[in-house]
Amino acid sequence: MSRQSRQVSRRGFLKGSGAVMGGLVLSTWLPGFIPDSVAAEATAAGRLGDQTPRGYGAYVRVGHDGKVTVISPKIEMGQGAHTGIAMMLAEELEVRLADVSVEDAPPDAELYTDSIMQFQATGGSTSTRHAWQPLREAGATARLLLIQAAAQRWSVDPAQCEAREGVVYGPGDRQAGYGELVDLASTLPLPASITLKTPDQFRLIGTPARRIDTPNKVNGKAKFTIDLQVPDMLVASSLACPVYGGTLKSVDASAARQVPGVRDVVTLDNAVAVTATNYWACQQGLKALKIEWDLGENASISSPELDAALQKASSADGVVAHSSGDVAAALEAASSRFEAVYEQAFLSHSPLEPMTCVAHVRPDGCDLWVGTQVPVFAQQTAASITGLKPEQVVVHNQLIGGAFGRRLDYDFIAQAVAIARQVSYPIKLIWSREEDMTHDMYRPHYVDRLTAALDADGKPQGWQHRIAGASVLARYVGSLPASGVDADAVEVAIDPLYALDSLQVNYIREEPKVIPVSWWRGVGPLRSTLAVECFIDELAHNAGKDPVDYRLALMDKHPRAQAVLKLAAEKADWQTPLPVGQGRGIAVSAVFGSFVATVVELEMQADKGIRIKRLVSAIDCGLVTNPTSVLAQIEGGTLFGLSASLFNEITIEQGQVQQRNFNTYRQLRIGEAPGVEVHIVPSTESPGGVGETGTALIGPALLNALAAASGERLRRLPLSRAGYFPV
Amino acid sequence: MIQLSVNGERYELDVPADMPLLWVVRDVLGLTGTKFGCGIAQCGACTVHLDGEAVRSCVLPVGAVAGRAVTTIEAVGESALGSQVQQAWLEHEVVQCGYCQSGQIMSATALLQRQPNPSDAEIDAGMAGNICRCATYTRIRAAIKDVGKGDQA
Ligand code: FES
Ligand code: FES
């Protein structure tokens, strides 16, 4: 198996990798991990005083062969994180990208906690933003130490030495490869200060680089969790109660045990699993089971009543998430009011690789081979199920076949562990597509209700924004803060780009109970952006103004947002008139630390066929590490959002999810996928996230374009609900 | 016993005739480049070549392919065209998570075999069976066109 690393205690990990790899393991300098003598000396000299707990050494190893390994705090799920992170390190370490290999970080909350999300995770478009500072610092620190070592060896001033492509050059013909210097370097104290390059000094960052993980993804060699084989492993597949919250009453497994290849039938509180020599035998075994479920109290719930409850909630007051100025007074005094209600559906993640996890539980330990966005949680959950200590659980992170937020949850890991502890061999749990889709953790169904106070020119004086829906944050961390506000759900809504004298945002938590909710690419900002950007567009039309001009007039405080709005409009030929039946829609937002605007140009047919003619995006995501990845993320993120906006909605009938596979939860196909023209604004601002920005903008741009083309204002996604379809 | 030819190797396998080719290839032969995505011929992740034609191996009983030549992603690069397609995939940086790409490459190679210089409509039709959840479609199209051009030149 590739990418398999032995993980022991952190101290052991560092020592162990030193022994295996040889060479410079910078973790040596982490507080608490340095040899006592060195620590005493260093502390006396004040050298370690200001070290952050995020030690440099957590990120880099240099071998005797000069090869560099970057320990990536972010996993690779198609977003190019591994390549971007390797580039940041290579830039400051002065090595070629080709000489850097990437290893996923083990679970270690102390070392790898995301500075934005506050736990060790890959998600929230944080990879570049989080890694930017520490990875470059780690590279620079290692470079300075290697230069120092060379200078010492040659008895010259370090200022006379320079590092290039893994070699230190000194006065005269002196030169030494990093590999020769690591032993000496690893005995030196940390540099007192480091100076990072300024953007004009970059030679790698900002250039289009080939992704380092792709060659094995075009020849079948790359291994995802579903592809792993460990010795003595059997495949497992499961059926959980079709109603969330229900339990297993009884099962007759006699026929299942007769299926050739089937080894064991394992029961859990709410599921049955079959282990077998192959996946197909597992499925045959599952089919042969006679299961009786206790469907529980959710079995009577269906979508119409959930819809009605949410509609009702959207007029309630909930809690005030934000209040500035006096909205009530503004509405009272307004020359007119404008109200609109937007609705967004429950969504499944449905990554193409269904949920998978390899687990081996023994009396003295547990190994997990799984692609996870949250390795610490994976470790903790396995420990609590097995009664083992967290350090007895080893997480071997893997490539992920798409996640979109799904692998921020670890329910499937918990299930794999619960099955594995009942058998004596490792299992590879593979959910069928049906199991995956009906036992997802879903993007909540939301209703946004906005009421604006307008002056005589139709300009907003203020607005009230009510957001009703389930709280992902509460489900994920267990509760909301005392304020009762879900900070994710109200993001963007409480801080719109538009100058308003008064703004009130109410958050009304309404839990569906019948299905669990979770993070979905774009999270809260996606929902808020749809509501705000459709609403402002409606206000512009109501005032008889051009939607771009109307927005710009309210955006004085946001020059970067103004710039992308103007750029997208210009590149999309916004001013050029279109024939009847065609229209353009625009949306702009400040999300995930970036500024993005998207224009959709489309043609409407009488039969509700929609032909998207152009899709244009402008993004200012600050300093770009790898433009190739930015383009791919905007393209992919936009079309991912388009697919959901056009087609996707999870509905419930008697407690059960009705969509079971890609025939009833259909996805955008190549013939329906327009090209995406992406324009990146050159910038030296600190990097913003990109993975979710495109997804957040396409929905409102699409609805606004539809209104421009047809005059019909749709306020609910997906469009298929209203009979629209792509042509 | 079922006789099977996969990537030029002959096998005699003791598997049920109704077992889908996908699971024979993945779980019995250990060739895991071919992926599972839906199991009902909706996503194309499991696409392999049967005598050069792209087929969905998740719904193809192994008994039905006895004696015919199966090619998987692991061996598609042995043909000049297959390797050109893989190269174009890298040059256009098509891949995101990569999970669908074995199937995409198998479908694209079969398409280009039939139609060396496919039009947009032919690409739409030839690739319609392959879902990419990461939505790499724009670059898939560009890569296919590139190979098409290469063939003509
Ligand atoms: S797995 Fe065969 S088409 Fe989806
Ligand atoms: S690259 Fe991820 S599904 Fe296609």
Tens-digit pLDDT profile for residues A541-577 = 999 999 999 999 999 999 999 999 999 999 999 999 9
Whether B138 and A635 lie within 8 Å, measured CB to CB: yes
**pLDDT band for position A22 (50/70/90)?**
very low
Domain shared by A322 and A190, yes or no: no
Say which ligand is closest to the CA of B107.
1
Point out the domain boundary residue: A153, A182, A216: A216
Total of domains in chain A: 3
**C-beta of B77 in contact with ligand 2 (< 6 A):** no
Give residue A68's pLDDT. Answer: 87
The rounded Å distance from CA B94 to ligand 2 centre is 9
Average confidence (pLDDT) over A237-254: 98
Q: What are phi and psi of B100, to 5 degrees?
A: -85, -10
Contacts of A676 in chain B (CB under 8 A): 138
Three-state DSSP at A492 gives coil
Residue A435 lies in a domain: no
- Do A274 and A206 lie in one domain? The reply is no
Q: Which chain B residues have a beta carbon less than 8 Å from that of A79? A: 96
Closest CA to A467 of A489, A440, A448, A439: A448
**Who among A278, A635, A670 is closest to B123 (CB)?**
A670
A101 membership: H or E segment, kind and range: strand A100-104
Any idea which of A73-87, A101-115, A692-706 has the lowest mean pLDDT?
A: A101-115
CB contact under 8 A, A661 and B40: yes
Q: Tell me what percent of the residues of chain B surpass a pLDDT of 70.
A: 97
Taking an 8 Å cut-off on Cβ atoms, the answer to whether A211 and B31 are in contact is: no
Ligand at minimal distance from the CA of B136 is 2
The confidence score (pLDDT) of residue A67 equals 86
Q: Does residue B15 contact residue B28 with C-beta atoms inside 8 Å?
A: yes
A43 has pLDDT over 70: no
Considering the domain boundaries, does residue A273 fall inside one? yes
Residue A547 domain flag: yes
pLDDT per residue over A514-539, tens digit each? 999 999 998 889 999 999 999 999 99
* Section B106-121 average pLDDT: 97
- Return the closest-CA partner of residue A412 out of A240, A662, A269, A652: A240
Residue that wins the pLDDT comparison between A324 and A212: A324
A437 falls within a domain:
no
Could you identify the residue written with the tokens 């946004």?
Answer: A448
Side by side, the strands of the sheet bearing A167-169 are A162-164, A167-169, A175-177
A657 plus A546 within the same structural domain: yes
pLDDT score recorded for residue A54: 31
In a domain, A401, yes or no: yes
Q: Output the CA–CA distances (angstroms, integers) from residue A207 to A87, A270, A622, in the order listed.
A: 10, 51, 14
Query: What CATH superfamily is the domain B2-75?
Result: Beta-grasp domain (3.10.20.30)
Closest by CA position to A603, among listed A625, A574, A579, A621: A579
Kindly tell me if the per-residue pLDDT of A52 is higher than 50. no
Q: What percent of chain A has pLDDT over 90?
A: 70
**Residue minimizing CA distance to atom 3 of ligand 1:** B41
Task: Give the tens place of pLDDT for each residue, A173-185.
Answer: 999 999 999 888 8
Choose among A347, A301, A310, A304: nearest CA to A444: A347
Phi-psi region of A659 (alpha: psi -120 to 50; beta: other; left: phi over 0): beta
Token readout for A713 is 């204002």
Claim to verify: residue A185 and residue A311 sit in the same structural domain: no
Q: For the residues B42-59, what does the mean pLDDT come to? A: 97
Does residue A351 register a pLDDT over 70? yes
pLDDT at A113: 61
What is the distance in angstroms between the Cα of A414 and the nearest Cα belonging to chain B? 22
Query: How many whole angstroms from B41 Cα to the centroid of ligand 1?
Result: 4
In this prediction, residue A175 carries a pLDDT of: 95
Strand A393-397 relative to strand A365-370: parallel, antiparallel, unpaired?
A: parallel
pLDDT given for residue B123 in this prediction: 98
| Pocket-forming residues, ligand 1, beta carbon under 6 Å | B 36-39, 41-46, 56, 58
Separation of alpha carbons A434 and B87, rounded Å: 35
The pLDDT of residue A195 is 87
Q: Does residue A87 or residue A719 have the better pLDDT?
A: A719
The pLDDT assigned to A57 comes to: 53
Q: Quick one: pLDDT at residue A116? A: 58
Other Cβ atoms within 10 Å of B34 Cβ, number: 26
Q: Tokens in use for A302? A: 């269906």
pLDDT bin (cut points 50, 70, 90) of residue A117 is low
| Residue whose structure tokens are 């490459």 | B105
In angstroms, the CA A28 to CA A24 distance is: 9
Residue ranges of the domains in chain B?
A: 2-75, 76-152
- Write out pLDDT tens, residues A673-715: 999 999 999 998 888 777 788 999 999 999 999 999 999 999 9
Angle at the Cα of A489 from the Cα atoms of A483 and A490, rounded to 5 degrees: 70
Statement: residue A668 has pLDDT above 80: yes
The domain over range B76-152 is classified in CATH as 1.10.150.120 = yes
Q: Give per-residue pLDDT as tens, A297-344.
A: 999 999 999 999 999 999 999 999 999 999 999 999 999 999 999 999
Looking at the fold, whether A325 and A407 belong to one and the same domain comes out as no
> A457-468, pLDDT tens digit by residue?
999 999 999 999
> Residue A21: which pLDDT band, with cuts at 50, 70 and 90?
very low
At residue A44, the pLDDT reads: 27
Q: Count the Cβ atoms, other than its own, within 10 Å of residue A481.
A: 11
Yes or no, beta carbons of B97 and A430 under 8 Å apart? no
Ligand 2 atom with the shortest distance to the CA of B98: 1
Mean pLDDT (chain A, rounded): 88
Residue A128 — very low, low, confident or very high, per pLDDT cuts 50/70/90?
Answer: low
Main-chain phi, psi angles of A530, to 5 degrees: -60, -50
User: A541 is in which domain, residue-wise?
Assistant: 303-346+442-726
Q: pTM score, two decimals?
A: 0.89
Interface probe with A: pick from B19, B27, B92, B109, most Cβ of A within 10 Å: B27
Top pLDDT among A241 and A6 is at A241
User: Are residues A81 and A147 both part of a single domain?
Assistant: yes
Same domain, A100 and A63: yes
Report yes or no: A148 and A185 within 8 Å, Cβ to Cβ: yes
pLDDT tens, A573-592?
999 999 999 999 999 999 88
Contact A400 B28 (CB under 8 A): no
Give pLDDT, residue A684. 87
CATH of the domain at A13: 3.30.365.10
User: Residue A153 — very low, low, confident or very high, per pLDDT cuts 50/70/90?
Assistant: very high
Residue at a domain's end among A183, A216, A249? A216
pLDDT confidence tier of residue A231, bands split at 50, 70 and 90: very high
- Domain end (from A403, A430, A457): A430
**Are B2-75 and B76-152 the same fold in CATH?**
no
With a 6 Å cutoff on the Cβ, whether A214 touches ligand 2 is no
Q: How many CB atoms lie within 10 A of CB A114?
A: 19
Q: Do A229 and A271 fall within a single domain? A: yes
Say yes or no: A491 and A536 in one domain.
Answer: yes
In whole angstroms, give the CA distance from residue A34 to residue A47.
13
The answer on A255 and A139 residing in a single domain is no
